[in-house]
């Protein structure tokens, strides 16, 4: 099993947009987990990529994530379902020199799945943070995550990924990340619905 490495990983936030978020299964959980990943990635110096699917129709990335991203909010606009199907993103990711991609966002069975599939086909190590992805219905979320795993993606979650990246409580950003986890975990896990895939 592959492990996330600080000098190899990048975070991708896929299409968490204003007009779509309200109809998603446990959107609050997904957004909170994305916020945890974004804050952790910023603390650990990991590159962050953001995509928006047809924002003229679906709106911008939700305000909570735009606020968390701050200066890192530089969305790549796409019409393709797969982020890697978009030349701008594909080139930007290749230019980063990163070989691992940690994916969060929506929808698990469409844009996330196709991004994961293409990332694997391109030879990247792909990790899917299952608490930080969702779809309109629980079944679609669960089957999307399962398909990603069956294709070869590494199944993880937001908290697991961040601690795996740090590796030790002696990491200089441990307390910062730990504080983020303590803040966001109750929001991520409060519902208990659809907790298993």
Distance CA 73, CA 42 (A): 12
Across the range 174-183, mean pLDDT stands at 94
- Digit-coded pLDDT (tens) for 139-158: 999 999 999 999 999 999 99
Across the range 65-71, mean pLDDT stands at 96
Confirm whether 104 is a catalytic residue: no
- Digit-coded pLDDT (tens) for 104-153: 999 999 999 999 999 999 999 999 999 999 999 999 999 999 999 999 99
Confirm whether 34 is a catalytic residue: no
If you average pLDDT over every residue of the chain, what do you get? Answer: 94
- Digit-coded pLDDT (tens) for 74-99: 999 999 999 999 999 999 999 999 99
The catalytic residue among 34, 78, 131, 148 is 78
User: How far is C-alpha 169 from the chain's CA centre?
Assistant: 24
Confirm whether 193 is a catalytic residue: no
- Tell me if 159 sits within 8 A of 36, measured CB to CB: yes
pTM for this prediction: 0.94
């Amino acid at each position: 099993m592959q492990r996330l490495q600080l000098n190899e990983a990048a975070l991708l936030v896929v299409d968490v947009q204003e007009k779509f978020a309200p109809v998603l299964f446990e959107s609050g959980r997904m957004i909170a987990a994305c916020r945890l990943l974004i804050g952790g990635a910023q603390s650990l110096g990991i590159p962050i990529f953001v995509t928006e699917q047809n924002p003229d129709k679906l709106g911008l990335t939700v305000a909570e994530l735009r606020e968390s991203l701050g200066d890192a909010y530089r969305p790549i606009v796409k019409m393709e379902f797969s982020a890697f199907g978009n030349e701008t993103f594909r080139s930007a990711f290749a230019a980063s020199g990163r070989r691992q991609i940690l994916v969060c966002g929506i929808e698990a069975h469409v844009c996330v799945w196709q991004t994961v599939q293409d990332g694997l086909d391109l030879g990247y190590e792909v990790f899917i943070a299952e608490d930080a992805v969702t779809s309109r219905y629980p079944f679609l979320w669960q089957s999307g995550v399962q398909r990603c795993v069956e294709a070869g993606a590494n199944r993880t979650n937001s908290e697991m990924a961040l601690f795996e990246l740090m590796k030790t409580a002696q990491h200089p950003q441990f307390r910062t990340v730990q504080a983020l986890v303590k803040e966001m975990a109750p929001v991520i896990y409060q519902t208990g619905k659809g907790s298993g895939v």
